[in-house]
Amino acid sequence: MMTQKTILRALAGETLPTPPVWMMRQAGRYLPEYRATRAQAGDFLSLCYNPDLAAEVTLQPIRRYGFDAAILFADILLVPQALGADLWFVTGEGPRLSTITEQRDFDRLKGKHDIHETLNPIYETVRILSRDLPSDTTLIGFAGAPWTVATYMIAGRGTPDQGPAHALKDGNRALFEALLDRITEATIEYLDMQVQAGAEVVKIFDSWAGSLNSADFAKYAIAPTKRIISELRARHPDLPTIAFPRQANDGYIGFHAATGATCVAIDNSVSPEWAAQKVQVDGCVQGNLDPKHMVTGGAALREATQHIVRAFANGPHIFNLGHGITPDADPDNVHIMLEAIRG
């Protein structure tokens, strides 16, 4: 059955007549059943750490839409929490963390092998999903890339330009690199445990990669991702990996070879024709419908979807959005997208 899973076939380099499809944040606030389950959990973090409910929200979009993959419901900031950072969410504003700006802050962090007590519920969610997903649905595990996770740990929140992280990088390079190494080591252990629990693919989200200049992109986006993939492949030789260096622009070119990623996910700031010519030539690509189409729908959604399918038709392609689906999306528009892909 493994070889019949379309996403695994695309990741193995096969060009399929109909691309497999899933959506970033497909389990989320645009779905009424998700909102009901989150209310049952009490709050976002309680939902993440409740294996039965986290598995339930992961399964909801599979039941509703029949996507070719399910992605584990969790959050990239669970790794900082497992390392000892304080983490909470402010309604309507997003995450907040205790900050790492001085050596004494770093010295309080836990080691890479001390994260599992906190993260064991996540591994149990993976085990439930591995058992309960349809036999033709691929299970994707994930983590945040070290640079992106570090930006939150340094600033204590999301920022428009990742300024605090750049300031620490430029002002105390030794501390910054020690933090990046600690995150990288923890991420390897976290993803390894997800694979042991049943994840068939892992995705590395570098949401803020685009704010790194070319030299820093090589050092702090490419190098940590390469290290994570290399170590995971040493432990799991056949593990496919998806890397998403969002807004990398020309940094997408050569990213397969530079990191060892099986697939490079593309955001919607680049055209599918450009990505087919510059990136897909090196392997599987994933993307890249503008999420705004899931809000507005209609003929424009159908046309944009079919445009992307045509552009990537000559190589391995996994259809996805260029970023996560937004809370104001219309669930009916997902059906329109799927019909445009599958006919």
DSSP of 283-295: SEEEEEE-TTHHH
* Cβ neighbours, 10 Å, residue 12: 14
Asked if pLDDT for residue 2 goes beyond 60, the answer is no
Per-residue pLDDT band for 1 (boundaries 50, 70, 90) equals very low
Residue 242: closest CA among 132, 138, 133, 342: 138
Predicted confidence (pLDDT) per residue in 181-229, tens digit:
999 999 999 999 999 999 999 999 999 999 999 999 999 999 999 999 9
DSSP secondary structure string for all residues of 131-180: HHS-TT-EEEEEEE-HHHHHHHHHHSS--SS-HHHHHHHHH-HHHHHHHH
Distance CA 269, CA 326 (A): 17
CATH code: domain 72-265 is 3.20.20.210
Three-class SS state of 109: coil
Residue positions annotated with a catalytic role: 25, 29, 38, 75, 152
* Per-residue pLDDT at 4: 86
Residue 262 DSSP class: S
- Characterize 233-272 residue by residue with b for buried, 16 or more Cβ atoms within 10 angstroms of its Cβ, and e for exposed: eeebeebbbbbbbbbbeebbbebbebbbbbbbbbbbebeb
Output the CA torsion sign for 239, 244, 248, 252: positive
Percent of the chain with pLDDT over 90: 97
Cβ(303)–Cβ(337) below 8 Å = no
Distance CA 134, CA 195 (A): 18
Distance CA 229, CA 204 (A): 9
The residue type at 120: N
- The number of residues making up the chain comes to 343
Predicted confidence (pLDDT) per residue in 8-18, tens digit:
999 999 999 99
Residue 97 DSSP class: E
Burial (CB < 10 A; 0-12, 13-18, 19+), residue 45, is middle
Distance CA 208, CA 204 (A): 12
Per-residue pLDDT band for 3 (boundaries 50, 70, 90) equals low
Residue 218 DSSP class: I
Radius of gyration of the chain (CA): 19
pTM higher than the cut 0.95? yes
Predicted confidence (pLDDT) per residue in 54-96, tens digit:
999 999 999 999 999 999 999 999 999 999 999 999 988 899 9
Task: Specify the DSSP element, H or E, that contains 89.
Answer: strand 87-90
Predicted confidence (pLDDT) per residue in 229-260, tens digit:
999 999 999 999 999 999 999 999 999 999 99
Domain spans of the chain, in order of start: 8-14+266-343, 27-58, 72-265
Distance CA 49, CA 119 (A): 8
